[in-house]
């Protein structure tokens, strides 16, 4: 009886050990079914004892825990986005402004009139010296000096530069990261989405807009004036710098043309030779041509204000040419 009990206990222990080995084999990753684990603690079975009575069936071993799913590797970082497109070209700059030139210097003072003649001495009286004769009348006042030249026109005829081009578009989004590899015991969880590609570099600034058109002087504007001596059509030496200044300004502003007006004051008390004003206009015109101004940029006629006309005065006016105005 004792021997039978011993056999039953050995058989039960063997079955329990076999169940534990089976559970441990299921929990150990990396081994196929039926392969012996190298980490088992139970030694090999002893020789078979005598066959005893068939014992009761042992308890079924517990099912091993399910294998753990491992996350797949992180997907690679998406490629850098393409460079943004170049910014748009800046719009054309606005038309330049017109600025009034500074006021000209004051004209020289007119010469002093001649001294009046001395009155004659009175005749001697009958019994005493006669009274002194009356003082001679004062000489007439000299003519008023010519009006100073009108200030030169300001040179701000160039429009400002166009604004900078717009910022380039953002680069395209990077590709999605790859899906993670499958886990050891179950299908691996999909890898995390790859990081978004870096934003493409900002597109280069658009080119500077074209220069705005030159400012337009739509009507004749008084620019300079020349005064002539009585009955003379010769340009004064003092006005040579005036001619050079006009030529320099016209060469710097090719869109402008000149007008010369030598009209006399219709209310003048003394009418000079009718051809003298024309001679004075031609004298000014010839001086300007000799200074380097093309003849096709000079016109003559009645361009100035009627109220400003004076005998002995020739006015030079400027305006933008009709071709530059698109007319």
Helix axes 275-290, 240-252, angle to 10 degrees: 60
Residues 260, 284: contact at Cβ < 8 Å? yes
Name the nearest CA neighbour of 45 among 79, 7, 18: 18
pTM: 0.42
The predicted structure's pLDDT at residue 174: 58
Most confident of 107-116, 134-143, 295-304: 295-304
Instruction: State which fold the 221-320 domain adopts.
Output: 60s Ribosomal Protein L30; Chain: A; (3.30.1330)
Residue with tokens 């001649």: 114
Question: Which of 44-48, 50-54, 109-113 has the weakest average pLDDT?
Answer: 109-113
Q: Over 90: is that where the pLDDT of 145 sits?
A: no
Name the nearest CA neighbour of 49 among 10, 19, 16, 12: 10
Q: What's the mean per-residue pLDDT of the chain? A: 73
3-state helix, strand, coil in the chain (%, to 5): 20, 10, 70
In angstroms, rounded to a whole number, what is the distance separating the alpha carbons of residues 304 and 153? 16
Q: Over 70: is that where the pLDDT of 192 sits?
A: yes
313-320 and 298-300 strand pairing: unpaired
Residues 156, 97: contact at Cβ < 8 Å? yes
Q: What mean pLDDT comes out for the span 296-319?
A: 89
Q: Where are the beta strands (DSSP E) in the chain?
A: 221-227, 256-261, 298-300, 313-320
Q: Over 80: is that where the pLDDT of 280 sits?
A: yes
In angstroms, rounded to a whole number, what is the distance separating the alpha carbons of residues 182 and 28? 18
Maximal C-alpha separation, the chain? 207
Listed by start position, the domains of the chain span 84-94+148-213, 221-320
Q: Over 70: is that where the pLDDT of 115 sits?
A: no
The predicted structure's pLDDT at residue 32: 43
**Cβ atoms within 10 A of the Cβ of 225, count?**
24
């Amino acid at each position: 009886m004792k021997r039978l009990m011993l056999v039953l206990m050995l058989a039960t222990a063997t079955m329990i050990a076999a169940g534990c080995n089976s559970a441990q084999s299921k929990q150990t990753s990396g081994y196929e079914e039926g392969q012996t684990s190298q980490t088992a603690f139970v030694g090999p079975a002893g020789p078979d004892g005598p066959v005893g009575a068939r014992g009761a069936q042992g308890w079924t071993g517990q099912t091993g825990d399910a294998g753990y799913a491992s996350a797949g590797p992180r997907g690679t970082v998406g490629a850098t986005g393409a460079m943004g497109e170049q910014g748009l070209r800046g719009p054309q700059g606005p038309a330049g402004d017109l600025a009034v030139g500074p006021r000209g210097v004051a004209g020289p003072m007119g010469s002093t009139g001649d001294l009046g003649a001395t009155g004659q001495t009175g005749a001697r009286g009958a019994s005493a010296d006669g009274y002194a004769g009356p003082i001679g009348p004062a000489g007439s006042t000299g003519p008023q000096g010519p009006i100073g030249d009108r200030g030169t026109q300001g040179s701000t005829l160039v429009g400002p530069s166009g604004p900078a081009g717009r910022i380039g578009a953002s680069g395209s989004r990077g590709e999605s990261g790859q899906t993670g590899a499958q886990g050891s015991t179950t299908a691996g969880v999909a890898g995390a989405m790859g990081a978004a590609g870096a934003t493409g570099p900002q597109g280069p600034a658009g080119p500077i807009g074209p220069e705005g058109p030159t400012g337009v002087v739509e009507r004749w504007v008084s620019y300079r004036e020349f005064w002539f001596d009585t009955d003379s059509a010769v340009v004064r030496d003092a006005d040579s710098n005036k001619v050079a200044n006009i030529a320099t300004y016209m060469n710097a502003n090719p869109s402008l043309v000149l007008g010369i007006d030598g009209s006399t004051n219709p209310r003048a008390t003394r009418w000079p030779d009718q051809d003298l004003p024309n001679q004075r206009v031609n004298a000014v015109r010839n001086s300007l041509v000799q200074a380097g101004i093309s003849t096709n940029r000079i016109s003559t006629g009645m361009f100035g204000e009627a109220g400003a006309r004076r005998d002995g005065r020739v006015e030079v006016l400027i305006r933008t040419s009709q071709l530059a105005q698109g007319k």
